[in-house]
Amino acid sequence: MFNNLLPLGVFYAIWTGIGTIGGTIVGILFYGESKNRKRFLFMGMIVVAVVGLKLSA
């Protein structure tokens, strides 16, 4: 029944990544924060890292 659950560390990393990217997007859309390439590059790196953790779990 519980065989396909994620380990706690991976789940926490995923949840934190979602919150970080979500907060950044809200800041860009609603609070006029900068939209430079570096922000999107690093958000992409967060997504890649979370996917890597999921695949290795």
- Domain boundaries in the chain? 18-56
- pLDDT score recorded for residue 56: 83
- pLDDT score recorded for residue 11: 85
- pLDDT score recorded for residue 23: 95
Query: For every residue of the chain, which 3-state class applies, written as one string?
Result: CCCCCCCHHHHHHHHHHHHHHHHHHHHHHHCCCCCCHHHHHHHHHHHHHHHHHHHHC
Distances (CA, A) of 33 to 16, 49, 53, 56: 20, 24, 29, 34
- pLDDT score recorded for residue 6: 76
Identify the residue whose tokens are 């590059």.
41
- pLDDT score recorded for residue 34: 92
> pLDDT of the chain along its 57 residues, tens only?
556 677 888 888 889 999 999 999 999 999 999 999 999 999 999 999 988 888 887
